[in-house]
Structure 1
Amino acid sequence: MALVPQASLNGADTAWLMTSTALVLLMTLPGIALFYAGMVRRKSVLNTMASVLVVAAAVSITWFAMGYSLAFTACSSWLGGTSRFWFAGFDYLKEAGTVAVSHVAPNVPESVYAMFQLTFAIITCALVVGSFVERMRLSAVLWFALLWSVLVYAPIAHWVWEPGGWLAQMGVLDFAGGSVVHVNAGVAGLVCAYAVGPRRGYGRESFEPYSLALTMVGAGLLWVGWFGFNAGSAVAADGRAGLAMLVTHLAAAAGALSWMIGEWTTRRSPSLLGLCSGLVAGLVAITPAAGFVTPPAAVAIGLIAGLACYWGATALKRVLRADDSLDVFGVHGIGGIVGALLTGVFADSRISGGTGHVGVQALAIGAVALYSAIGTGLVLLVVHIVVGLRVSDETEAVGLDLGQQRERIGT
């Protein structure tokens, strides 16, 4: 970490990263909140939104306290140091005209880079919420977010994105979070689904979504916000950011059409929910590849991911027998795995400056999945001991809006 003259920073890069930060936060608040709330039953809509908001607030504080430092300071190949605990050293020194910068992003203020990465930590943990909606205590959600963001997310981010991380040193390609965000969240979600158990009546009753219109609005916000997610990860207002934005859009479109075709073929009727899920699948899969592939490759990645995630949310889900309520593993886990592997296949050395290796990508997927599964399981065990994971049968029956928040949607 270093102090540089304010005048030496790149104004365009800084402005773009600040804009991208706002776009990524938009993906969670209100994007994920609306996307998830529309798919749960009416009696738990507000609790689902509250859970996402609690995660955003809790992870913000843990990132400030220690998460950023553990993820993005150079200390060892496994974990960062303590030099940036409590955002130490971020003060802008007006008298000297200097500002702190990160060795990872030397052309923008470190405060901006830390905030940008904070929005990634927030959305990764918020994605996991979809696996246990309608049955986890809000107090458990709070404790889970506090512990998981530090013990699971921060180390994985360090491995992949800090230049000294052991996976980064091996040459793994993960431009914006295929493994760090999506494989991590997908595996954590699956573990949560097993640990919390299925919803009452799962497999025997029809769970009517509250409003797929809200889900569509949330999906649209995710699509738009993802430009900050992927193009912002260039950490510069340059040609790579422009290419990342283009391929992100193409993959989302291809994923939506691919899922629709799969659904149309097997069920004879395409659905709005399927289109929304497909576009998210395309976005997830292009995330690790966005700064490394050409537009035709992005279309191929989106098409493959749409079908793969449709299989993950249907046939594979039945095999796994987990009530992963909103298909966190089926879409984010499978999409992240597919995207990370295809990054190794399609990475263009003229763009990336290096060659993709499917074996290295597979190793990263395996390491992230294993650590996420074990770490998530331990976090859930601690939370279970401290506050308990699941609401009572009575609360679940009446709905978590009334049972947990003492609120409900008006008629």
Structure 2
Amino acid sequence: MFIFKSIGFIYPVAAHWVATKNGWLHQLGFDDFAFSGVVHAMSGATCLIAAYMTGPRLDRSFDGRKLPPHSQMILGAFIFLFGMVAFNAGSQGSISQPGDGFVIIAKVAINTPICAMTSAATALIYQRFIVDRLKKNWNYTSGINGSFVGMVAICAGCNQFQYWGAFALHTGLLINAGGGIVIML
């Protein structure tokens, strides 16, 4: 019932604010590439509420089965990365006519993995030297989670950043460093 209410009533209202010309965020000039800001904000709020409602996980299994091996986690992360690049680039819609946005698609296809890798590196370094400095080991799951945060953080504005902006200090690195550190907290 909760998901039905979220999908049927809450998300359409938020999408209307951005997607239509008379939506108040659209009128303020809010630029949300592929409506990813709306999708991620609504998904995050829904997941937060669902996590609160279900409570903490009591064991490390799911329906009596053990969690998947680590190699499957890494494979899933790479599949998600390639899917996210394709989704972001495909959100431009068309490149068949002059002026359709081939340059924007190139920016999106370059910025998405750069942000993912910058955030993964930030999360790995933060985990290794701040969180687990006494253990002196690297935790690849921090890198995977950091890459997810980087892709989500850049998604709404990936068409606005310059090619170098996904890694530069005053644009992408601040987003990625913040996202990479937040995932570790």
Q: 1:253 to 1:299 in 2, by over 3 A?
A: same
Query: Aligned equivalents of 1:314 and 1:246: distance in 2?
Result: 25
Partner-residue secondary structure (3-state), 2:161: coil
Please list the CA deviations of residues 353-384 of structure 1 after superposition, one character each: whole Å capped at 9, or x if unmatched. xxxxxxxxxxxxxxxxxxxxxxxxxxxxxxxx
Report if the CA contact (8 A) 2:146-2:183 is conserved: no
Q: Residues 316-355 of structure 1 correspond to what in structure 2 (within 5 A)?
A: none
Which of 113, 120, 143 is the matching residue for 1:256?
Answer: 120
Q: Which residue of structure 1 lines up, in the alignment, with residue 160 of structure 2?
A: 292
Q: Post-superposition shift, 1:294?
A: 0.4
Partner-residue secondary structure (3-state), 2:34: coil
Gaps of 5+ in 1: 1-142, 203-207, 316-411
Which of 47, 52, 58 is the matching residue for 1:200?
Answer: 58
Report if the CA contact (8 A) 1:255-1:304 is conserved: no
Report if the CA contact (8 A) 1:254-1:279 is conserved: yes
Work out whether 1:232 is the aligned partner of 2:74.
Answer: no
Paired AA for residue 226 in structure 1: M
Report if the CA contact (8 A) 1:230-1:244 is conserved: yes
Query: Aligned equivalents of 1:155 and 1:289: distance in 2?
Result: 21
Paired AA for residue 115 in structure 2: A
User: What TM-score do the two structures reach when normalised by structure 1?
Assistant: 0.38
Q: Post-superposition shift, 1:309?
A: 3.1
Which of 147, 171, 188 is the matching residue for 2:5?
Answer: 147
Q: Which residue of structure 1 lines up, in the alignment, with residue 174 of structure 2?
A: 304
Q: Post-superposition shift, 1:306?
A: 3.9
Report if the CA contact (8 A) 2:128-2:138 is conserved: yes
Paired AA for residue 82 in structure 2: V
Query: Aligned equivalents of 2:172 and 2:76: distance in 1?
Result: 20
Work out whether 1:164 is the aligned partner of 2:34.
Answer: no
Please list the CA deviations of residues 55-91 of structure 1 after superposition, one character each: whole Å capped at 9, or x if unmatched. xxxxxxxxxxxxxxxxxxxxxxxxxxxxxxxxxxxxx
Q: Post-superposition shift, 1:209?
A: 4.2
User: What TM-score do the two structures reach when normalised by structure 2?
Assistant: 0.79
Query: Aligned equivalents of 2:20 and 2:90: distance in 1?
Result: 17
Q: Post-superposition shift, 1:219?
A: 1.0
Query: Aligned equivalents of 2:147 and 2:172: distance in 1?
Result: 8
Q: 1:224 to 1:181 in 2, by over 3 A?
A: same
Q: 1:299 to 1:212 in 2, by over 3 A?
A: same
Give identity over the alignment, percent.
Answer: 27
Q: Which residue of structure 2 lines up, in the alignment, with residue 273 of structure 1?
A: 141
Paired AA for residue 210 in structure 1: P
Q: 1:165 to 1:214 in 2, by over 3 A?
A: same
Report if the CA contact (8 A) 1:263-1:274 is conserved: yes
Q: 1:303 to 1:211 in 2, by over 3 A?
A: farther
Q: Which residue of structure 2 lines up, in the alignment, with residue 245 of structure 1?
A: 109
Q: Post-superposition shift, 1:289?
A: 0.8
Paired AA for residue 292 in structure 1: Q
Q: Post-superposition shift, 1:178?
A: 4.1
Q: Which residue of structure 1 lines up, in the alignment, with residue 72 of structure 2?
A: 214
Report if the CA contact (8 A) 2:123-2:183 is conserved: no
Q: Post-superposition shift, 1:284?
A: 0.7
Q: Post-superposition shift, 1:299?
A: 1.5
Please list the CA deviations of residues 245-284 of structure 1 after superposition, one character each: whole Å capped at 9, or x if unmatched. 1111211121111111111212132222111111111111
Report if the CA contact (8 A) 2:142-2:184 is conserved: no
Q: Post-superposition shift, 1:197?
A: 1.8
Report if the CA contact (8 A) 2:34-2:156 is conserved: yes
Gaps of 5+ in 2: 61-65, 96-101
Aligned length: 168
Q: Post-superposition shift, 1:314?
A: 3.6
Query: Aligned equivalents of 1:293 and 1:311: distance in 2?
Result: 21
Q: Residues 6-405 of structure 1 correspond to what in structure 2 (within 5 A)?
A: 143-200=1-58, 209-237=67-95, 238-266=102-130, 267=132, 268-300=136-168, 301-315=171-185
Report if the CA contact (8 A) 1:254-1:306 is conserved: yes
Partner-residue secondary structure (3-state), 1:292: coil
Q: 1:303 to 1:277 in 2, by over 3 A?
A: farther
Report if the CA contact (8 A) 2:89-2:109 is conserved: yes
Paired AA for residue 179 in structure 2: C
